[in-house]
């Protein structure tokens, strides 16, 4: 398998394969860039069809974490890990403990967390063998702890409001019409926040119970899965799937702003960013406004390693700065006549490639 010539290689610093015969663990850890600090990114378990597919996924995700940490002004680099296994039939506590040993061997260069098909329980098992793990519950929180979604939702909410201010010149969201796709952990919390400030909600989900709950509790209008795109709304908030801004959906959109939690919303970044620009639809880049969960786990780690308290307060304060970053991105895109995603990438790269903007340096775990 070609590695240094891999299409997703992107100058990764470190790529490590782990195999543990006893537990059957097959994992790849990818560390993209650590100029700003240790690489933090979740551990995904997926039944990949091939090792090549797993490698492509981990490289793509790992690079994305470098950009997310840098644009969020965190003293962190980007990394990710994947375990090649079926979470329903193959995952065991012992396998996750073996993953903990694998993470420990990197000596703090990589910090892991929950991702698709890994849970708080899995992080507890990993933690038995390494301190380089986040998303752990506190005693107060119990097993429900470690859930980053409320923090992600807060960042998306603040980013959405800033985008509305920039594009529509509105300071208040009272009466604003928002179409929300996906009422899961992040989407529902976002809806609650929007409703509390007087926005009108139009929602969809494949889960009928979630829609009934939104209708009853938040007075939301419920529409079909494909109808969400063509709603006559101010804002479209994708909070379910990636790739939903594409050739088919863009012509349907009536919203003036897109701001949501889903990762990789634009199916093809350059093509679909340009299409949105032509229609004067303002796009709040997903990796900028959905970074609240990452910001929160950074403060969890920092508190544990450096024995601080009040990590939640610090996280909320930091998430409160997402609108400032967003404004910087929008202004740069306008001033330099470049796309919003290009402006976001440019700012992130200026930070992690030069390492000048990072004021607080992370202290290594013992
Ligand atoms: P979740 O699984 O809790 O919720 C997703 C919701 O989308 C579910 O209710 C699901 O039924 C619904 N859904 C699935 N397919 C759909 C479709 N075709 N149309 C409409 N609804 C559909 O996930 P989440 O944690 O709320 O995350 C939402 C998105 O935000 C994901 O793309 C995730 O990658 C991204 N994200 C989440 C976090 C976080 O902290 N949870 C952080 C960053 C990014």
Q: By alpha-carbon position, which residue is closest to atom 1 of ligand 1?
A: 184
Distance of CA 67 from the midpoint of ligand 1 (Å): 21
Distance of CA 198 from the midpoint of ligand 1 (Å): 23
pLDDT tens-digit readout, 320-362: 999 999 999 999 999 999 999 999 999 999 999 975 444 433 3
Q: Where in the sequence numbering do the catalytic residues fall? A: 80
Neighbouring C-alpha atoms within 13 Å toward the C-beta of 132: 30
Q: Which CATH class is domain 3-133?
A: alpha beta
Distance of CA 354 from the midpoint of ligand 1 (Å): 34
pLDDT tens-digit readout, 79-121: 999 999 999 999 999 999 999 999 999 999 999 999 989 999 9
Integer Cα distance of 221 and 235 in angstroms: 15
Q: Nearest CA to 181 among 202, 152, 150?
A: 202
Q: List, in sequence order, every beta strand (DSSP E) within 246-335.
A: 257-258, 282-283
**Residue 139 and residue 159 in contact, taking contact as beta carbons nearer than 8 Å:** no
Distance of CA 263 from the midpoint of ligand 1 (Å): 9
Integer Cα distance of 299 and 144 in angstroms: 18
Alpha-carbon separation of residue 290 from 151, 326, 345 (angstroms):
9, 12, 15
Same CATH topology for 3-133 and 139-349?
Answer: yes
Which DSSP category does 248 fall into?
T
The domain segmentation of the chain, as residue ranges, is 3-133, 139-349
**Residue 340 and residue 329 in contact, taking contact as beta carbons nearer than 8 Å:** yes
Q: What is the pTM of this model?
A: 0.93
Query: Cβ < 6 Å from ligand 1: which residues?
Result: 148-149, 152, 181-187, 204-207, 210, 225, 239-241, 261-263, 290, 293
Topology given in CATH for the domain delimited by 139-349: Rossmann fold (3.40.50)
Q: Of ligand 1's atoms, which has the minimum distance to the CA of residue 186?
A: 26
Q: Of ligand 1's atoms, which has the minimum distance to the CA of residue 147?
A: 40
3-state secondary structure of 147: coil
Q: Of ligand 1's atoms, which has the minimum distance to the CA of residue 207?
A: 11
Integer Cα distance of 213 and 134 in angstroms: 31
Going by pLDDT thresholds of 50, 70 and 90, the confidence category of residue 311 is confident
Relative to beta strand 110-111, strand 39-40 is parallel
Angle between helices 340-352 and 51-71 (to 10 degrees): 80
């Amino acid at each position: 398998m070609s590695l240094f010539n891999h299409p997703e290689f992107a100058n990764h610093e470190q790529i490590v394969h782990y195999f543990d015969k006893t537990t059957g663990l097959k994992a790849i850890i990818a560390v993209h860039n650590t100029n700003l600090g240790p690489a933090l990114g979740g551990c995904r378990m997926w039944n990949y069809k091939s090792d090549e597919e797993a490698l492509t996924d981990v490289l793509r995700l790992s690079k994305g974490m470098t950009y997310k940490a840098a644009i969020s002004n965190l003293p962190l680099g980007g990394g990710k890990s994947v375990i090649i296994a079926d979470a329903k039939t193959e995952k065991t506590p012992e396998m996750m403990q073996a993953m903990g040993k694998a993470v420990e061997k990197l000596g703090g260069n990589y910090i892991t967390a929950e991702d698709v098909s890994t849970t708080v329980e899995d992080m507890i098992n990993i933690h038995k063998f390494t301190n380089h793990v986040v998303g752990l519950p506190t005693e107060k929180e119990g097993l429900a702890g470690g859930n980053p979604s409320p923090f992600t939702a807060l960042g998306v909410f603040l980013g959405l409001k800033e985008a509305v201010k920039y594009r529509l010149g509105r300071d208040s969201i009272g009466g604003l019409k928002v179409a929300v796709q996906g009422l899961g952990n992040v989407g529902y919390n976002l809806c609650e926040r929007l409703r509390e400030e007087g926005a009108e909600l139009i929602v969809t989900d494949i889960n009928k119970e979630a829609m009934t709950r939104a209708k009853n509790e938040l007075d939301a209008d419920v529409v079909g899965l494909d109808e969400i795109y063509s709603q006559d709304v101010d804002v479209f908030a994708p909070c379910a799937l990636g790739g939903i801004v594409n050739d088919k959906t863009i012509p349907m959109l009536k919203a003036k702003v897109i701001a949501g939690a889903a990762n990789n919303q634009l199916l093809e970044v350059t093509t679909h960013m340009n299409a949105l620009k032509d229609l004067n639809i303002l796009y709040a880049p997903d990796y900028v406004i959905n970074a609240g969960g990452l910001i929160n786990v950074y403060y969890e780690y920092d508190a544990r390693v450096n024995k601080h308290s009040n990590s939640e307060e610090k996280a909320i304060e930091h998430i409160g700065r997402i609108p400032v970053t967003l404004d910087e991105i929008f202004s740069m895109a306008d001033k330099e006549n470049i796309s919003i995603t290009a402006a976001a990438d440019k700012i992130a790269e200026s930070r992690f490639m030069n390492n000048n903007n990072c004021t607080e340096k992370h202290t290594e775990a013992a």
